[in-house]
Structure 1
Amino acid sequence: MSAPDKDYRMPNGGPSIASLPKVSLHDHLDGGLRPETVVELADEAGVTLPVTGGSADLDRWFVESATAGSLTDYIATFDVTVAVMQTESALQRVAREFVLDLAADGVVHAEVRWAPEQHLRGGLSLDQAVEAVQAGIDEAVSALADDDHELSVGQILSAMRHADRSLEIATLAVRHREAGVLGFDIAGAEEGHPAGDHRAAFDLLAREFLPVTVHAGEADGLDSIRGALLDGRALRLGHGVRIAEDIRVIQSRGGQTTVELGPIASWVRDREIALELAPQSNLQTGAIAAWGADLDDHPFDLLYQLGYRVTVNTDNRLMSATSLSRELALLTQAFDYDLSDVLAFQLNAAAASFLPLEDRDDLADRITLGFEAV
């Protein structure tokens, strides 16, 4: 269930979505393990799993446990995956398989986020953990290049927002910026843990000109987004879906619809601050509960039609039993999107990536050529 092998296609006999070049900006390393890998690593590490029926039952457990309607319950499932990712070999294997699975889904650029501070129980240092993940990434990218599959991958190091190591992780990110790290993030329990608690880390990153994305507007609302923008100087918002709380849709008696943007919504749109939207995850965690419980209720299309830099992401492929192709297929069904819309989402993601300008332009050209070829 974590990496569906269904051939998702565009409507009306359109091309396979997996064949289209895609960009993944918001995908957690500890949320993208293969279920069979979790079973094998758990056996090696002596970790007791919540179910004993093998990888299929474990796969089912992850999805069912994550679909509890709250971010807190969703996050709890990571106790299992993090527990089996405490050695260099485990981190390297998980990273290698993570990248290979992205490539199989047609991803051509990925920014993989994870929290090194959660992977030190086996005695690893922060630097050793980062180097192990990079080794797995490099191994996969090299193997793919041998098969003529070009894929660029960078790390985004996350600090846990409820902990006190953000300055240390920010320093770590700066230290590895020439060795695979593209940016910084804060993740974890959002409500009650504002970005302002990590101001020292964000100040350092600003001085060092290292890009920042911040989880905001998922389990908390506009105050969280404001903090991400002001305290975090975020260039992207992780999820950010609750920016829609600052958008007022007015229906007139004559049937005409007008829209009023509040100051935060205006700032995010006008400055083209990317929204890292993850539709299936947003449904599981209740992030869109104010608008409804189905994908048709998701503010995604409202934000897209209003000109926001929307991007499509998986968040956690294991917990949401999803892939980027599946997310795009479900959106096309829900909102009647065509190939030009899917291309727009990929170009948005390319423009919002933390790559240098020249690489972003090259990525956009490659994506456009790939879409034109189908």
Structure 2
Amino acid sequence: MAGTADQTVRLLAELQARAKALGFDAFGIARADARPDLPAKLHHALAQGWHADMEWMAETEERRGSPTALWSEAKSVIVLGVNYAPAENPLDLLEQRTVGAISAYARNRDYHDLIKGRLKELAGLLAQRSGADVKVFVDTAPLMEKPLAEAAGLGWQGKHSVLVSRPFGSWLFLGAILTSAELPINAPHPENCGSCRKCLDICPTDAFPAPFRLDARKCLAYYSVEHKGPIPREFRRPMGNRIYGCDDCLAVCPWNKFAAQSREARLRSRPELESPALADLVDLDDAGFRALFSGSPIKRIGQARFVRNVLIGIGNSGDEALALKAEQRLDNASPLVRGAAIWALRRLDPERAEALRLDRMGRERDSSVNAEWDGTV
């Protein structure tokens, strides 16, 4: 970037002030090539199959491994964070088994939409002032923003693989601006987990093969959000009432005690998504689902997958009064919903489920649903 050192200092001050005004809580800069270790780490994770059936990760491996592979002109990366710490501890919802636990990040507008517009405005300011080229990225792009945030001094990747920040704990949305400008960089943040392993020990499915490593094939967040088929049987009981995402490893992080003090920029969750009743959610048809989750990331998984998750929650609720709700879904158009309804009914009212089994199997044409009738809870 052409210009004197004083001009650069003034530009950075202007960018930081504008970022704060836009609602960003964290700001840091790293060289685009600051993490030459990432390609090897990514290749190892993919070789182990830790990405489950998220094939897009493997398909974009070469670009994902390095910002300069994604955009050869990149010299610097500005990483920004927005605090979304929930007002209450998400773990408290897991004790309320007849309500749905929605991950804290999904209780407001889709964070991709929230952040991308702000990033574009800030990137536009940088381009205008410096004449440099810019590109903005949220996590839908093949950019490994968490290790880059670590390199930019925002925090460190914890043992749960999520970025941990001193002032914001595990609750930061991240976005990045790649630029052809060579900007002054921040010092990388050292790892500060120490001997703590609370995030590893709380995981209900043992999804961490080692500290700092996550195997999506055992992750409840993956199954409730990314997985398109039936929830594997071995993960249904551990899923409890988690109907979208899983906050356990984030919520237990001791650094979150500082996030509770950072209230000014917190993204408030929508009240209707804080503790919704499973009995109401399972009644959502497609129109009702779209209306309730308009502007929400939950909308992307579609009504059938969402009701699948809700029925797993109903099966784990222990509330026999909800058995009728499950039975009413046995004729649903979606095999995903019918299969989950069978599992829930067998959990809550096994005698009624057995009475329906032979007749229903004789009429059912989907093999996965018949496998549910034949299966065990």
Task: Judging by fraction of residues, say which structure has more strand.
Answer: 1
TM-score range, shorter chain: under 0.3
Question: TM-score, length-normalised on structure 2?
Answer: 0.23
Larger-Rg structure: 2
TM-score, length-normalised on structure 1? 0.23
